[in-house]
Amino acid sequence: MIFQSPHPPVKVPSVDLYSFIVQRIRSQAYWNDPERPVYIDGDSGAKLTIRDFLHYTAEIAAGWQSIAGLVPGDVVAVLSPNDIYYGVASFSVLAAGGVVSPINPGYTQREIVYQLQASGARFIVSDSELLPIATDAARDAGISVKHVYRLQPATAPSPRSPSVAHQNLFDLCQGAPAARTAATAPIRHSGDESHHAPAYLCFSSGTTGKSKGVVTTHFNMVAIVTQVDAFLRGEDYAHTGQVLAGVLPFYHIYGLNVLVHLNLVQGCTIVVARKFDLPKFLCNIETYRIQFAYLVPPIVLNMARYSRLRDHDISSLNFIMSGAAPIPASLARDLEIRHGITVRDAYGLTESSSILLMGRRDTQDPEAIGVLMPSVEARIVETETGRPLGPNQTGELFVRGPNIMKGYLNNPEATKATFDSEGFLRTGDIGHVDSTGHFYITDRLKELIKYKGFQVAPAELEALLVCHPHVRDAAVIGVYNPQQATEVPRAYVVLTERKGCDGRTEREVTEDIIRFVANQVANHKKLRGGVEIVREIPKSTSGKIMRQVLRKRVAEVGASAQPSVVSKL
């Protein structure tokens, strides 16, 4: 059985992403004012206007071709945290016919070298603070230091003095548009070419070994922007002229699409945060009257439980879209009742160019993630037999649509294993769909805990744990118990401020947590592996729990090592 979106299909033009975005900017009345800011630096207040954005993008694109020597298909790695010039770097590369490979600025030199080599990068655009590590990584990857460019304009001082002089990205500007030649005109991809030409090489999180390069074409990117735009407008979420929080990392597929691409199509201004800081985030909401925020659950959780939240005027913020993991329903209700903020979930993958599911405005069940994006089809498949399932039957989610990646870079085996014979992508996520078309994601296929043959979903227990008054964050994994010859669920929790634990000891609190869970779940879901208190839950930049780090911890100390409290259940 194939499930479809309740929204009508969208028509996706077969053009390159740069041409598509520029055309939409030209047709958007909001951008008629050349001084309208596209991006505002939330720390310094510096602004990048739509006029400068378009000018720099076109002129640097010409310089990529005539000065840097970039040829169509060359890969340019962008190593930077969020910055008002991030979009200029990306779109200038695309306009020149290049391919962008965003790199996590928190990577070690070894990890940067791996992505540079795996992507086949020829150039690097680096944040000024990261120039030393970018230079060293370039040398290790066999990239000429002359091909390392500083992202920020020369007028922006560098906090560190690199060991070698670096060219500035803005030195590639070619001057007046009339000076350009046919050889430096923007590269166009149309028709079938847009379906095959790569635009981005983002790398998957790599939870099962080394990360893989995901080949996202121009058509894929045009599709996802068109799909999400249609959905947001159809649900009356998006309005031209909105001010959005630029908190999500631009180098991640989620932030890249909604904060670097979609905002230009919808006519929105982004207040950019170089790194997340909760008090600063709340101050920016006050200062710039931010109305819409794409976030991840840890931020929403910290925001909802922030003791000084009422000290800030956040009345302008009326909508939060949260991705990466489900938001506990109680927290969403609390933000809506106390602050008038509508909170909805979203779900997607790097392989799907970001969003696949999103919560509707009239969603009745807070446990539902959402419905399919326009033009996306889905199946729920029985994990053991591959048999298609119907509504309210649990299995693995398969998806198909114009936004689905072309494949994994130089990895035909992995690509073949990820798609079925009808072009559906295996998500590796377990869930079901109800009779109204709302999807529920309960866990990752490889993360399910098997307790005596019963399946236990860590995400379900985690959502319950953070509802405990003394738990700020939580993660659950399975640990093998040799005495019972089975996996048992173990929780890792971050407690709220100690003063909020009513003077009880950690042992008393963890015993209470075990009872709290036991009273609300079936027998096989009880925390028989115990509860361990930790300082923080390891998470990726997109907010996903890095369970492999916790499993490694168990492997190093031994599964039999006792956590803070072991359940006697």
- pLDDT tens for 359-379 read 998 887 888 999 999 999 999
Residue type, 93: V
Work out the average pLDDT over 133-158: 89
Q: Is 52 exposed, middle or buried (0-12, 13-18, 19+ CB in 10 A)?
A: middle
Q: What is the pLDDT of residues 454-465, one digit of tens each?
A: 678 888 899 899
- In whole angstroms, give the CA distance from residue 19 to residue 27: 12
* % of the chain surpassing 70 pLDDT: 91
Whether residue 207 has pLDDT greater than 50: no
Residue holding tokens 């922007």? 225
What pLDDT band is residue 419 in, cutting at 50, 70 and 90?
A: very high
Q: Could you give the residue range(s) of every CATH 3.30.300.30 domain in the chain?
A: 448-557
Convert the pLDDT of each residue in 83-121 to its tens digit. Answer: 999 999 999 999 999 999 999 998 889 889 999 999 999
- State the architecture of 448-557 in CATH terms: 2-Layer Sandwich (3.30)
Looking only at the bridges linking them, the beta strands covering 449-451 and 454-456 are antiparallel
- Split at pLDDT 50, 70, 90, the class of 208 is very low
Give me the chain's average pLDDT, please.
89
> What is the CB-side half-sphere exposure of residue 141 using CA atoms within 13 A?
28
pLDDT per residue over 446-502, tens digit each? 787 878 766 788 888 998 999 999 999 999 999 988 887 788 999 999 998 765 566
What are the b/e assignments for 476-486, b being 16+ CB within 10 Å?
bbbbebeeeeb
> How many angstroms separate the CA atoms of 201 and 76, rounded?
10
Rounded CA separation 306/463 (Å): 18
- The confidence band for 157, taking pLDDT boundaries of 50, 70 and 90, is very low
User: Mean pLDDT over residues 20-28, rounded?
Assistant: 95
Q: Quick check: 153 pLDDT over 70?
A: yes
- Say whether pLDDT at 426 is over 70: yes
Q: Around Cβ 11, how many Cβ atoms within 10 Å? A: 9
In the chain, ranges of CATH 3.40.50.12780 domains:
219-445
Look up the CATH architecture of domain 17-32+49-188.
3-Layer(aba) Sandwich (3.40)
Give 321 or 445, the one with higher predicted confidence.
Answer: 321
Whether the predicted pLDDT of 44 surpasses 50: yes
Structure tokens at 562: 């006792």
Instruction: Render pLDDT for 269-324 as a digit per residue (tens, 0 to 9).
Output: 999 999 999 999 999 999 999 999 999 887 888 888 888 998 999 999 999 999 86
pLDDT over 90 (residue 435): yes
Bridge partners, residue 532, by sequence: 492
Beta bridge partners of 293: 245, 320
Residue 179 has which token pair?
A: 């000076």
Separation of first and last alpha carbons in the chain: 41
Q: Between 72 and 524, whose confidence is greater? A: 72
Q: What is the pLDDT of residues 96-106, one digit of tens each?
A: 999 999 999 98
CA 554 to CA 539: how far, in whole Å? 17
pLDDT exceeds cutoff 90 at 230: yes
Closest to 57 (Cα-Cα) out of 31, 21, 83, 27: 21
461 — phi, psi (to 5°)? -70, -35
Order of strands across the sheet with 292-295? Answer: 47-49, 37-41, 269-272, 243-246, 292-295, 319-322, 342-349, 354-358, 371-372
CATH 3.40.50.980 domain span(s) along the chain: 17-32+49-188
Evaluate if residue 177 carries a pLDDT over 70. Answer: no
Pick the more confident residue, 71 or 331: 71
3.40.50.12780, 3.40.50.1820, 3.40.50.800, 3.40.1480.10: CATH of 219-445 = 3.40.50.12780
Q: How confident is the model at residue 338 (pLDDT cuts 50, 70, 90)?
A: confident
Proportion of the chain above pLDDT 90, given as a percent: 69
Q: Are 530 and 566 in contact (CB under 8 A)?
A: yes
Whole-angstrom distance, CA of residue 323 vs CA of residue 361: 16
